[in-house]
Structure formats: C-alpha cells, structure tokens
C-alpha cells in the first residue's frame, strides 16, 4: 500500500501579510515566490523559499513586484516566480498545471483600486496572455521547479500601482483561491507600500492567522507498506 502525508513544521503564527518580491526595497519584510501544493484536494498557494527549498508560508495570497528593477527592461519583471515540487502537488514529474490570469487591470486611484485601461499581461516562452482578455498559461511540474513568467506593462502606462488577479488549476485538483500581485510602475516606494497594505486589508479576504513554517518546511513523505 502506498500513501503520502504533508508534513507541516510550525514556527510561529503571523497575522499580517508576508509579501513576495525578489528585493525587500529597504522595508525589512520577508519576500517569497509563489509556492504551490495540494491540500485536501485543492490547489493551494503559499510562500516558497528557493534557498531552503521549502514552503515557508502555508497560505499567501498577496504578492508584489517592481517594474524597472532591471534598467534594460524597465516595463517587465519576472518576479515573483513560481516554486515547488511535483511531489507537493501530488503529481508525477512532467504533468502540468496552469496559471490563470483573470480578465481586467486595476490601478490605484488614490483611495482604492479601480478598473483601468492600462495594457498589461504575462508571458512564458511563446505563450502570452493579455490582461484585458484574461487567459491561461500551462507549466510543467518537475521534481523541483523554479519558473519565472514575465509580467509586463505598456511603456505609456502612467506612474502608479497596478493590480492583477490570478488562480492556479490542475487536473484532479480544485482551483485555488484567487491570489493578487500588486505592481509598482515608478511610484515612490513608501506610497506604493501603502497601496499594498490597502489591498491586503480590502481585497484579499481575511483568512485568519497565517501559519509560517520553519525547519523542515512543507514537504511530502511517501511510504510503502
């Protein structure tokens, strides 16, 4: 008989968002990639740390990114990445999952995020999705994947904070809850962080305390008997 269990090693409980981005922009926060795993038959999103190769945050639904970190590509960014293992998803290496961009762009209007005509999207290899229309891109799960889709914004977009909504899905699993990425397009960092905090409080539904994982992190153990 073969069965598998997910091991969660709790470190402490966090009641505020732990945001995801490659750089902490001098705010001292921890930042993680989008981490994927299966939990009770549902595709679940957490915070993945590639340095430790573990899921450091069990449930994470708000991420941030900053256009212009690479001066050679001022209107695109390949963070946050997507990390995890096929085993954590209950998949065999080579099976696929999809990242679904929900149609619509929202931009900060001074008091909240409202619909925007700004042109945004994401791409991975030859596949590309326009945020105005929405769509999906398929990815292959491997034993230890580190995937980096490119998110982009039109060069004529106004300076500001922009928000996109995503879900993840795979055969045999219920679709994940929505996650959100807030993008900084040339906005002052402190003002941008205020928009992220607003999104945390008003767009991401309150899920209660979020469990942070340390030590062994989140991994899958397979046994045969």
Q: Where are the domains of the chain?
A: 2-224
Q: Which pTM value belongs to this model?
A: 0.83
Q: Which residue has the tokens 């791409």?
A: 123
Show pLDDT as tens, one digit a residue, over the chain (225 residues).
332 334 443 332 333 354 555 444 444 456 799 999 999 999 999 999 988 889 999 999 999 999 999 999 999 999 999 999 999 999 999 999 999 999 999 999 999 999 999 999 999 999 999 999 999 999 999 999 999 999 999 999 999 999 999 999 999 999 999 999 999 999 999 999 999 999 999 998 644 333 444 333 444 333 223
Asked if 155 and 125 count as a contact pair (C-beta separation under 8 A), the reply is no
Burial 135-146 (b: 16+ CB within 10 A, else e): bebebebeeebe
Burial 101-125 (b: 16+ CB within 10 A, else e): beeebbbbeeeebeebebebbbbbe
């Amino acid at each position: 008989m073969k069965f598998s269990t997910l091991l969660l090693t709790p470190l402490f409980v966090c009641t505020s968002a732990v945001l995801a981005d490659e750089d902490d922009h001098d705010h001292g926060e921890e930042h993680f990639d989008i981490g994927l795993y299966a939990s009770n038959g549902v595709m679940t999103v957490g915070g993945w740390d590639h340095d430790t190769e573990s899921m450091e945050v069990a449930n994470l639904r708000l991420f941030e990114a900053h256009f212009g970190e690479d001066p050679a590509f001022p209107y695109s960014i390949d963070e946050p990445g997507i990390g995890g293992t096929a085993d954590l998803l209950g998949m065999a290496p080579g099976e696929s999952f999809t990242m679904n961009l929900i149609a619509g762009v929202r931009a900060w209007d001074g008091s909240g995020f409202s619909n925007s005509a700004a042109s945004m999207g994401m791409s991975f290899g030859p596949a590309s999705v326009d945020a105005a229309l929405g769509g999906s891109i398929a990815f292959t799960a491997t034993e230890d994947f580190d995937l980096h889709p490119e998110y982009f914004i039109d060069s004529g977009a106004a300076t500001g904070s922009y928000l996109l909504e995503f879900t993840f899905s795979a055969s045999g699993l219920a679709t994940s809850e929505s996650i959100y990425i807030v993008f900084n397009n040339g906005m002052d960092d402190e003002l941008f962080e205020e928009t992220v905090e607003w999104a945390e409080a008003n767009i991401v539904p309150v899920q209660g305390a979020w469990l942070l994982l340390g030590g062994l992190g989140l991994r899958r153990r397979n046994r045969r008997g």
